[in-house]
Structure 1
Amino acid sequence: MKRLLPIFTLLFFCSPMVKAQITSPVIRGNFGVDADLRSNYYNGLLQAGNDDWYHFPGTAGIGQFVIDTTGAAGIVARYSTDVAFRRTTFARTMRYPAYSVVNNRTLLDAILVRDFHGDDSTVFASGSNKNGDNPIDWSTPVSQGIPDKNDILDMFVHVRRAGPNGTDSLWLFGGLSLDNTTGNRYFDFEMYQTDFYYDRANLEFGGYGPDAGHTSWEFDASGNITRAGDIILSAEYQSSSLSFIEARIWIHKSKLSISPAAFSWSGNFDGASAGAMYGYASIQPKTAGTYYTGLQCANNTWGGPFGIVLQNDVVATNYDAKQFVELSVNLTKLGLDPLTRLGGDPCGMPFRKVLVKTRASASFTAELKDFVAPFAFFDPPRAAIVSETPYLCAQGSVAQIHVTNPLITSSYTWTTPNGNIVSGANGTTIVVDTPGTYIVTQHLLASCGAYATDTVQILPFAPCEVLNVSLFDFQGVSTDFAIALNWKVTDNQLVSYFIIERSWDGTHFESLGEIRKTPSSKPIGSYNYKNDIRNAQAPSAYYRVRLVSTSGTVKVSNTIRFTLGKLSNQIVLFPNPAKDIVQVQVSATFNGKMKTEIFDPAGRLISVNLSDVSTGMNVISLQSLIGTPPGIYMAVIRLGSETFRQKIVVVK
């Protein structure tokens, strides 16, 4: 229920109500807000330089597109023959690593989600579901149709800074396409601090916040923010243009007596009922002026490389007039910039999960209609590290540890409480010479606080001795067809034989063969071995040598790594995030078998799928995630001698 703040409260804040808006095409942070999805186009005309959601084929210019369009042609091709496939969802994230500086702007994140449409369960049940409720009370049906003017087709979100520095304005851009183009449209971008999700199998939301299902904002006595909470941006598009965008934050009602330092209250408070203690309070900037823009598309606006799937399953190329709406919000001006308001970290984010939904009318508490299930945002890959060899001799041998999923925009620093790093302690790879625990800390930018850490343990290997006492100068040369290894030993007369070992992943080694001692009267012996790699499918090969002495003692060399540069097999999983069915797009270099294993968030194997692949492009459907709870799953795909590992985010 809507509550107006008492007049004395409004007078106390002494801040005029601001409804600044722009309904004409604009460029903000070099991103076109013109209801046109093409980079290097502005207001329907070719204008090289501005960024946007997609690249229009054949267009030249320095403007960049932000959405990863990998696999678009394959998806559209399948639409032509598979009607059921048109009704499924998929997602695409930003084509650049998080925090990349592109065209002198810092790109934080971006996402496209294609929603289910028509009769489905990602809609609110008819009744009284509304903003201000505890999400635990929202109800969703097994299947239900909704008015086409409320049916979401595609949803876009992108956040960037207007320059390369953390002090530049932070902009949020949103886009939404709906099935119908008549009448007024009302929708919300709701942003959560918790791991909020929708469990489609059980038709319920989960991952609630602690304060009536949300996370509330907290302030000290001076109005400074001590904890960020949930945010909602509510938009109203009338038949002709954008008419209103309102920003609200989730608070305990008592906080209305505090004057926030970052923004002002603007007069509205809505909770689950008239007496609710928690609800969404409207806010406005401290200073007058525009903080949002928005408008609707013209007729025949290009819909992007994935096409447009309408409620009646028709696949279209272009939008009708007013079918796609676009908006921008200056989060810095609004007082929600984490650098200036939430602790000073340029990589701090004001939210982590986003729920997009439509409403029946202009009222903030109107009946909720369609929604796009909560999806993760500002979630760059967290550092994961592996050791090329998990065991080391007590002294004299070395191992390499590296980050398996490095971001070129992140910095990595290494520490150890009981080991020894012999290389530099910064970068994606280190070399160590002592068993112990090694820790990497990831910073999204050098100026940011710690984002993630990971740990690996190198264990002592008792049977081995110090290698560099008797084996040295172990090296190799890579050609197109072979790896040529060579090494030398002291006290050659004490050698019995060598075992040459190879690994494709740096962890699991196999024996390639043995070389017996070459009799010599000289104390130093020289040896070599050549390994044919013409049929190798992995991107790297790792080699080491085991020396077996005449007394039976085993000495293990250091590992050397070669980048083969011959990998052409490619794996793409989509949609990701996924709700149930995942498609595996495989570009294979040979005819053979592919094995796909799915592990749940606890590391348990939940399914194994064997598939035949042929040279060229293959698309394989995996249904292993149907009925599984939300979480982060791991797909391990083995194709020939090559292993791919990729996380799958399951949302419901």
Structure 2
Amino acid sequence: MKKAILFVLLCGSAVLIQAQITSPVKRANFGVDADLRANFFDGFVEVGNDDWFNNGTAGSGTFIIDTTGASWILQQYTSTPSMRMIPFFRGMRYPQFTVVNNSMLIDGIFIRDHHGDDSTVFAAGSNKNGMSPASWTCPVSQGVPDKNDILDMMMHVRRAGPTITDSLWMFGGVSLASTTGNRYFDFEMYQTDIYFDRSTLSFKGYGPDAGHTSWQFDAAGNVTQTGDIIFTAEYSSSSLSFIEARIWIHNSAQSITPTAFTWGGAFEGATYGYANIVPKVSGTFYAGLQSTNNTWAGPFKVVLQDNSVEDNYTARQFMEFSVNLSKLGLDPLVNMGDPCKMPFRKILVKSRSSTSFNAELKDFVGPFDFFRAPMASASADVPMYCGTNGVSNITVNNALLTSLYTWTTPDGNIVGDSTGPSITVDQPGTYIVSQELMDSCGSSYAKDTVVITLDPSCSLLSSELLAFSAQLRDNIAKLNWTINNNPSAFYFEVERSYDGRNFTKLRRIYQTGETSLTASYSYPDDLQAVSKGVVYYRLKMVDKAGRASYSKIIPVALQEGRRTVLLSTNPVRSGTRLLLTGYQDEKAVVYLTDVTGRLLKTVTTRLLKGAAVVDLQGLNNWKNGTYIIQVILGNETFTEKMIIAR
């Protein structure tokens, strides 16, 4: 069983109380048991709980961290041992704000740190919490005592339910090289884009208030600006013994009574510093445990300080904790009234030498982005109309399924719906997309602008398709086409169909930029997974004026000698095409009759070897109804029904 944890908490009256966690717990359906496995809790298979990873245990519980490339990384650890010293990180495997297992997932990250001799450590001396990051110093290379050497860290934030008003929970995990003695670490979260510049071995992008961003309040104690946060913890050889939250403030802020939380009584700093906070209401709001022996270390395994790669953690090597950010008053819904605001932007994990909050800092990981959903970035497929107005599609290139995108224009025209990740427009103008992280946020997270122009003096000839063919060799269909007026082309979309009617896009190929009038293009389509039948291709050609046109349809037979006859469109309005495959340089006769057998139309054509298309046009004056098509190929007859409906 996991080690019991003793937490020393400060209540609202600043009187010390003790609350003991005696067993692993689940918070927001996430296992806090110093184990990394989903569908596994407190040493046993228990279907349903989420966790950092999954080692194959079946169940409805999901894992949070993206494991892409895990097998490759482990192979490199074996073939190239020097790779074991290279750090990497993985983000959350779901988009931000996705609801999974009735919990809203905000963000998650896993980071593997340098270890042994590296420069992402604090130089020996006076680097401490409460200092400006501008004053921290780092060596070119320096070893770290094993009790301070961070191997891996992970962090995840979610809401306990599917809505933005459910409690916000933070989960943290860290593994250290040493498993004995007292160890101390901090999870520090920043509002600014702080980063570590390896070329100068210094931190850049820190906040304006003595190197941090301070929390600010109005006279009534309401939060008017969120600032930097730090969670500090210490644990002995037997258990996690202390954890607290602090926020960066001006020392005068302690005279204000906050509405979201209570001052705990400690302040570390001068004009600015870190003050500890506790909830307005009593009760446990932290939980945490250390690993037992042989706890699975995840799909990336664990690389120890001596560069050995292990499948499992030893006892006390991995520590996991949870914090109820809503109860602590650090949820933007609680302190700002806006659940879609980001409580912090960057995370830095540090180890230190002793229990004092202001003790000497040792190792660090980061800073890394967190709570950073992709900000809308949009572009138009036709950014300029040539000579006259055309049609353009504007699309958010990095759209999130959970975000709401709303479009406006002061001088253009949106055709159809103005909500969604893409719009269609038919006039030049400025088009603005506003992104809300969820459709219930009510506030804009990001905006982007796309400008479509019109050049009235532009003269552009339409592109003309001179040739379009397909050749099948070794189950690869090679499509070739040649166009005239190549400079006027914008792009081509290769489309494929299995029935000659419903086509899907395979690839968009942009104009090569050649100045010559005639240009040739090609595209290979791998048909290894298609065992038999006929595949049909066509080209969608879009010019720089936004005009689109389609090529003829080309059939490719995958079974040699198999004859097929298919109508490309049915029902028919004014015309259709017959798609024929599997013939051998022969004559085809096509008869069109009504249901009584009365002959209405005859088409005779010579078919080359392979596949071909026979146009059946001029049907616009025919009455609605059912007609019979007979195709005579040698001594074989094929019959198809054709329906005309307008």
**C-alpha distance after superposition, 1:500-559 (max 9, x if no partner):** 76347879424999999xxxxxxxxxxxxx99743489xx9984366xxxxxxx976247
Number of aligned positions between the proteins: 508
Please report how far the alpha carbon of residue 290 of structure 1 lies from its aligned counterpart in structure 2 after TM superposition.
0.4
> Secondary structure of 1:392's partner?
strand
Partner of 2:278: 284
How far apart, CA to CA, are the structure 2 residues paired with 1:153 and 1:125?
18
How far apart, CA to CA, are the structure 1 residues paired with 2:273 and 2:515?
71
Higher mean C-alpha deviation, range 137-146 or range 156-165 = 137-146
Instruction: Point out the structure with max Rg over C-alpha.
Output: 2
Within 5 Å, give how 1:587-598 maps onto structure 2. Answer: none
The answer as to 2:339 corresponding to 1:339 is no
Partner of 1:217: 215
Within 5 Å, give how 1:623-634 maps onto structure 2. Answer: none
Partner of 2:547: 557
Evaluate the alpha carbon distance shift between residue 127 and residue 400 of structure 1 in structure 2; reply closer, same or farther with a 3 A threshold: same
Partner of 1:509: 511
Q: TM-score, normalised by structure 2?
A: 0.73
Evaluate the alpha carbon distance shift between residue 429 and residue 85 of structure 1 in structure 2; reply closer, same or farther with a 3 A threshold: same
The answer as to 2:430 corresponding to 1:437 is yes
Partner of 1:260: 258
CA contact (8 A) 2:389 2:545 kept: no
2:385 to 392, 399, 402: 392
Within 5 Å, give how 1:232-271 maps onto structure 2. Answer: 232-271=230-269
How far apart, CA to CA, are the structure 1 residues paired with 2:539 and 2:175?
50
The one-letter code matched in structure 2 to 1:86 is R
Evaluate the alpha carbon distance shift between residue 378 and residue 559 of structure 1 in structure 2; reply closer, same or farther with a 3 A threshold: farther
How far apart, CA to CA, are the structure 2 residues paired with 1:426 and 1:541?
31
Partner of 1:519: none
> Secondary structure of 2:147's partner?
helix
Partner of 1:299: 293
1:325 to 319, 326, 345: 319
Higher mean C-alpha deviation, range 443-452 or range 385-394 = 385-394
CA contact (8 A) 2:303 2:310 kept: yes
CA contact (8 A) 1:39 1:55 kept: yes
> Secondary structure of 1:177's partner?
strand
2:419 to 426, 436, 442: 426
CA contact (8 A) 1:414 1:426 kept: yes
Within 5 Å, give how 1:8-47 maps onto structure 2. Answer: 14-18=13-17, 20-47=19-46
The one-letter code matched in structure 2 to 1:358 is S
**C-alpha distance after superposition, 1:616-648 (max 9, x if no partner):** xxxxxxxxxxxxxxxxxxxxxxxxxxxxxxxxx
Please report how far the alpha carbon of residue 68 of structure 1 lies from its aligned counterpart in structure 2 after TM superposition.
0.2
Partner of 2:533: none
**C-alpha distance after superposition, 1:456-475 (max 9, x if no partner):** 1111133568999xx9xxxx
2:343 to 350, 355, 358: 350
The one-letter code matched in structure 2 to 1:215 is T
Partner of 2:633: none
The one-letter code matched in structure 2 to 1:439 is I
> Secondary structure of 1:175's partner?
strand
2:357 to 352, 361, 364: 364
How far apart, CA to CA, are the structure 2 residues paired with 1:264 and 1:139?
34
Evaluate the alpha carbon distance shift between residue 458 and residue 496 of structure 1 in structure 2; reply closer, same or farther with a 3 A threshold: closer
Evaluate the alpha carbon distance shift between residue 203 and residue 423 of structure 1 in structure 2; reply closer, same or farther with a 3 A threshold: same
Higher mean C-alpha deviation, range 104-113 or range 447-456 = 447-456
1:313 to 307, 311, 330: 307
> Secondary structure of 2:21's partner?
coil
Partner of 2:368: 375
Within 5 Å, give how 1:407-418 maps onto structure 2. Answer: 407-418=400-411
How far apart, CA to CA, are the structure 1 residues paired with 2:485 and 2:149?
75
Evaluate the alpha carbon distance shift between residue 510 and residue 88 of structure 1 in structure 2; reply closer, same or farther with a 3 A threshold: closer
Q: TM-score, normalised by structure 1?
A: 0.72
Evaluate the alpha carbon distance shift between residue 253 and residue 23 of structure 1 in structure 2; reply closer, same or farther with a 3 A threshold: farther
How far apart, CA to CA, are the structure 1 residues paired with 2:365 and 2:508?
41
The sequence identity of aligned pairs, in percent, is 56
**C-alpha distance after superposition, 1:168-222 (max 9, x if no partner):** 1100000000011111211000111111111122111111211111111111111
Which gives a bigger RCO, structure 1 or 2 (Cα 8 Å, sep 6+)?
Answer: 1
Partner of 2:451: 457
How far apart, CA to CA, are the structure 2 residues paired with 1:185 and 1:541?
66
How far apart, CA to CA, are the structure 2 residues paired with 1:421 and 1:482?
38
How far apart, CA to CA, are the structure 2 residues paired with 1:79 and 1:410?
39
How far apart, CA to CA, are the structure 2 residues paired with 1:65 and 1:497?
50
How far apart, CA to CA, are the structure 1 residues paired with 2:487 and 2:55?
59
Listed as ranges, the gaps of 5+ residues in structure 1 are 1-9, 472-478, 486-494, 517-529, 547-553, 562-652
Evaluate the alpha carbon distance shift between residue 135 and residue 110 of structure 1 in structure 2; reply closer, same or farther with a 3 A threshold: same
How far apart, CA to CA, are the structure 1 residues paired with 2:247 and 2:153?
22
How far apart, CA to CA, are the structure 1 residues paired with 2:156 and 2:339?
17
How far apart, CA to CA, are the structure 1 residues paired with 2:550 and 2:94?
31
The one-letter code matched in structure 1 to 2:190 is Y
Evaluate the alpha carbon distance shift between residue 541 and residue 117 of structure 1 in structure 2; reply closer, same or farther with a 3 A threshold: farther
1:79 to 77, 80, 84: 77
**C-alpha distance after superposition, 1:383-442 (max 9, x if no partner):** 111111121256552111111111111111111111111131111111111111111111
CA contact (8 A) 2:174 2:319 kept: yes
How far apart, CA to CA, are the structure 2 residues paired with 1:142 and 1:391?
51
**C-alpha distance after superposition, 1:318-371 (max 9, x if no partner):** 0001000000000000011101212x2221121111110011111111111111
How far apart, CA to CA, are the structure 1 residues paired with 2:23 and 2:538?
57
The one-letter code matched in structure 2 to 1:392 is Y
1:106 to 76, 80, 104: 104
2:138 to 137, 140, 152: 140
Please report how far the alpha carbon of residue 21 of structure 1 lies from its aligned counterpart in structure 2 after TM superposition.
5.0
**C-alpha distance after superposition, 1:559-606 (max 9, x if no partner):** 789xxxxxxxxxxxxxxxxxxxxxxxxxxxxxxxxxxxxxxxxxxxxx
The one-letter code matched in structure 1 to 2:333 is L
> Secondary structure of 2:373's partner?
coil
CA contact (8 A) 1:501 1:543 kept: no
Please report how far the alpha carbon of residue 265 of structure 1 lies from its aligned counterpart in structure 2 after TM superposition.
0.9
Please report how far the alpha carbon of residue 484 of structure 1 lies from its aligned counterpart in structure 2 after TM superposition.
12
Partner of 1:55: 54
2:204 to 200, 203, 206: 206
Partner of 1:403: 396
**C-alpha distance after superposition, 1:101-125 (max 9, x if no partner):** 0001000000000000011111111
CA contact (8 A) 1:191 1:230 kept: yes
> Secondary structure of 1:150's partner?
coil
